[in-house]
Amino acid sequence: MSEHEQRTPVQLSTVSADDPHLQPAARRPELVEQVIAVTFFLGVVLLAGFGACYWVNAAPWTLGATLGGGTTLLGVGLIAWGKYLMPRGPFVEERHEAASSPEERSAFAAAIVERGGGVIKRRKFLGGLLGAGMGLFGVVSAFPLVRSLGPLPKGTLFHTDWAKGTYLVDITGRRVHQDDLAIGSIVTVYPEGLENSDNGQAVDQTVLIRLSNEDYTTQKGRETWGPQGYVAYSKLCTHLGCPVGLYEQELQLLVCPCHQSMFDVTNGCIPNFGPAPRPLPQLPLMFDASGYLQSQSDFNQPVGPGFWERS
């Protein structure tokens, strides 16, 4: 058989047992067999080592090293076996057209259109009733499947738990006194009693910063909101609701680590960099008779990221 014929793909079902296509691809099969044997042996040894490592509870990396090494070696051996020692081919397989004959096609279409269609056309009322019933079934079954999943949003996103006279407390529940913060310091505060609740942490979280009395701009209408340089802003980034957890003291910026929005603390937390579209909502503050910080009311705006119903 010429080389040309040997390289011509043949059909597997037609080759005789002595056909060169069924011979191994390797020129020296014995050598390849030895190499594969060594590979398999090492693989099995490593897999046994995996068992041993597991048995003695060795370090996690030894488990992975033995398991990974063992399976890799077995795999490499097996691939080599398939590539070098099995029938080298190439073989060919005919591809039969998927399409049926024209007669079969039209018979199929006729069965659907005429047999079924005829029945439905004759009983339009029944079909319509069944259709309407199934539609209704679909709608009503969506109620428990969808509506039970959660409450309606209603006003939830517009309000937080801050209200007139709520005391500001830190994460340990301690109220903040007017002498507590040095100028330039920052603390995360929560409404009293909610510092450990989900809503308190996720929605009400607020940063309290003490600015020096001179170097900041008070927004119009917020003259009484920041007594003695204490200003409080929602900690929820107006971009995607990450906590605005980085305070660049020198630049007087609050930075969101998620997407690097920056809010100018000295100017009403108006964003001056990044994708956040709105200033952080401000919480109006006041002192009680003994000098502890309270909120005057809720935030001036809905906190956190934008949503459809937000005006």
Partner 1 sequence: MSQTVTTKRSQRESAGPYGKIGHTLNELDDRLGVAKGGRTFLDKIFPDHWSFMLGEIALYSFVVLLVTGIFLTLYYIPSQDLTTYTGSYLPLYGQKVTEAYASSVNLSFAVRGGLLMRQMHHWSCDIFVGAIVLHMGRVFFTGAFRKPRELNWTIGTTLLILAIVNGFLGYSLPDDLVSGTGIRIAYSIILSIPLVGTYVAFFLFGGNFPGTAIIPRFFILHVLIIPLVILGLVGAHMGLLVRQKHTQFPGKGKTEKNVVGSPMYPVFMAKTTGFMFVVTGAIALLGAFAQINPIWQFGPYTASRISYAVQPDWYMGFLDGALRIFPAWSFHSFGYTIPLEVTIPAVIFPGILFNLIMVWPAIERKFTKDNALHNLLDRPSNRPKRTAAGVTVAVLCSMLFIASSTDVMANFFHVSLNTVLWSMRILCIVTPIIAYPVTYKICREMQGFAGAGKRKTTNVVSRTAEGEYLATPAPVYVDDVVHEHEHEAVAIPTFVSEPVAEDEASPSGVRRIPR
Q: Contact region for partner 1 (CB under 8 A) — 55-63, 100-108, 224-232, 281-289? A: 55-63
Least separation, in Å, of the C-beta of 224 and partner 1? 27
Site string for partner 1, 18-47 (x = CB under 8 A): -------x-x--------------------
Least separation, in Å, of the C-beta of 66 and partner 1? 9
Q: Closer to partner 1 by CB, 137 or 307: give it.
A: 307
- By rule CB under 8 A, what count of residues binds partner 1? 93
Q: Contact region for partner 1 (CB under 8 A) — 126-134, 136-144, 216-224, 299-307? A: 299-307
Token output for 272:
């001056």
Q: Closer to partner 1 by CB, 138 or 150: give it.
A: 150
Give the burial class of 150: count Cβ atoms within 10 A of its Cβ; 0-12 exposed, 13-18 middle, 19 or more buried: exposed
The interface with partner 1 within residues 63-122 (CB under 8 A) comprises 63-65, 67-83, 86-95, 98
- Long-range contacts from 103-106, C-beta under 8 angstroms, 24+ separation: none
| CA–CA dist 246, 256 (Å, integer) | 6
Q: Closer to partner 1 by CB, 79 or 134: give it.
A: 79
The interface with partner 1 within residues 139-158 (CB under 8 A) comprises 146-147, 149-153, 156-157
Among 101, 125, 250, 308, binds partner 1 (CB under 8 A): 308
| Position 4 contacts partner 1 (CB under 8 A) | yes
Site string for partner 1, 262-281 (x = CB under 8 A): ---------x-xxxxxx---
| Position 51 contacts partner 1 (CB under 8 A) | no
Please give the full DSSP string across 1-68, using - where no structure is assigned.
--HHHHHS-EEGGG--TT-GGGSBS-SSHHHHHHHHHHHHHHHHHHHHHHHHHHHTT--HHHHHHHHH
- Nearest Cα neighbor of 188 from 166, 199, 204, 177 is 204
Least separation, in Å, of the C-beta of 112 and partner 1? 20
| CA–CA dist 144, 153 (Å, integer) | 17
In sign, the C-alpha dihedral spanning 210, 213, 216, 217 is positive
What is the H or E stretch that residue 127 is in?
Answer: helix 124-146
Token output for 74:
């077995």
| CA–CA dist 304, 242 (Å, integer) | 8
The interface with partner 1 within residues 240-259 (CB under 8 A) comprises 240-243, 245-246, 257-259
Q: Closer to partner 1 by CB, 78 or 211: give it.
A: 78
Q: Which CA distances in Å does 48 have to 35, 208, 264?
A: 20, 60, 62
| Position 219 contacts partner 1 (CB under 8 A) | no
